[in-house]
Amino acid sequence: MKELMRPEISDDWGIKKLQNCILNIAQYIDEFCVENDIDYCLMGGSALGAVRHNGFIPWDDDLDVFMTPDNYEKFRTAFRDKGDKENYYLQELGAANGMVTTAKVRLNKSTYIEDITKDWDIHQGVFVDIFILHTCPDNTIKRYWQYFWAKYLIVKGLANKVYERRGGAMNTVVKMFKLLPKRFLLSYGLKQVYRFRNDNTEYLCNFLGKALMKNGRYKSAYFATTKRHQFETIELNVVGQVEDFLKERFGDYMKLPDISRIRYEQHALEWDVEKPFKPIKEGIYADEKYLF
């Protein structure tokens, strides 16, 4: 594994080795995309890290990219045909009829355990997340329809796992969803999220995530182009209007968050960049059974 982190960066959070592993995966994705004429860009906190820190946010233990449906499908086809499957695994969660809720490129022979997936019989190696950047309809009713089905898929994913941490109305809804078959309306719900993909609209969106409608919707103009930006010792893609994107997403994005938020933003329960994860069923992954 190449050393891609800046040597002068301190390891105050004890995750620099993990970040370096993630960055190696990101470099592979970047080079593979360049080779196959596929566009992508850093999203969320990864884009924020690129601009504010010229690399990882110091305490960040993951890296996320956006791809449009067309670019992701091109990536999937190319990876299946000629990807480095000896070292990497393309994981699709909530897959149905060529659509996905989300995807990850996992490093084989490594471990990254998240709370939400710790009991699932899936590949659990160190990863880079691929989120699908969908077209968001200009029509208000259609937009809320798309948003509803995206959040339906998220709640159904929580229900498919033993999820008991929230009380009140959410806990009640999750318990009700547990009574439904695991893949109930998955394909239909994904179709409603994907259905506007060929429209020319003012906004794009990522409703299949934590963000609510306001923070999960972005002006299409921001994504008209991508450009290279320093990320540790390499360069990765960010959106052409990255400063505008970050301002809309985070407000004063150069301001560091309160220390109490940092652990909330981390994902790993445990990790190891050298030892393989131990799947529940050795060599058999059931990714398609799960939404998230």
CA angle 116, 122, 123 (to 5 degrees): 105
Mean pLDDT per 10-residue run, the chain (292 residues)? 96 96 98 98 96 96 97 98 97 94 96 86 94 97 97 87 61 80 92 97 94 91 97 98 94 84 75 84 64 66
What does the pLDDT read at residue 118? 83
Q: Pairing relation of β-strands 127-132 and 203-205?
A: unpaired
Distance CA 253, CA 31 (A): 28
pLDDT of 110 reads: 97
CA 270 – CA 124 distance, rounded (Å): 11
Convert the chain into a string of H (helix), E (strand) and C (coil): CCCCCCCCCCCCCCCHHHHHHHHHHHHHHHHHHHHCCCCCEECHHHHHHHHHHCCCCCCCCCCEEEECHHHHHHHHHHHHHHCCCCCEEEEEECCECCECCEEEEEECCCEEEEHHHCCCCCCCCCEEEEEECEEECCCHHHHHHHHHHHHHHHHHHHHHCCCCCCCHHHHHHHHHHHCCCCCCCHHHHHHHHHCCCCCCCCEEECCCCCCCCCCCEEEHHHHCCEEEEEECCEEEEEECCHHHHHHHHHCCCCCCCCHHHHHHHCCEEEEECCCCCCCCCCCCCCHHHCCC
Q: What is the CA radius of gyration of the chain?
A: 18
| End-to-end alpha carbon distance in the chain | 28
Would you tell me how many other CB atoms lie within 10 Å of the CB of residue 196? 20
pLDDT of residue 259: 73
Q: How far is CA 110 from the centre of its chain?
A: 18
45 contacts 8 by C-beta, under 8 angstroms: no
pLDDT, tens digit, 9 for 90 and up, residues 155-211 = 888 787 755 555 567 677 878 888 888 889 999 999 999 999 999 999 999 999 888
pLDDT at 284: 59
Dihedral sign computed on CA atoms, order 85, 91, 97, 101? negative
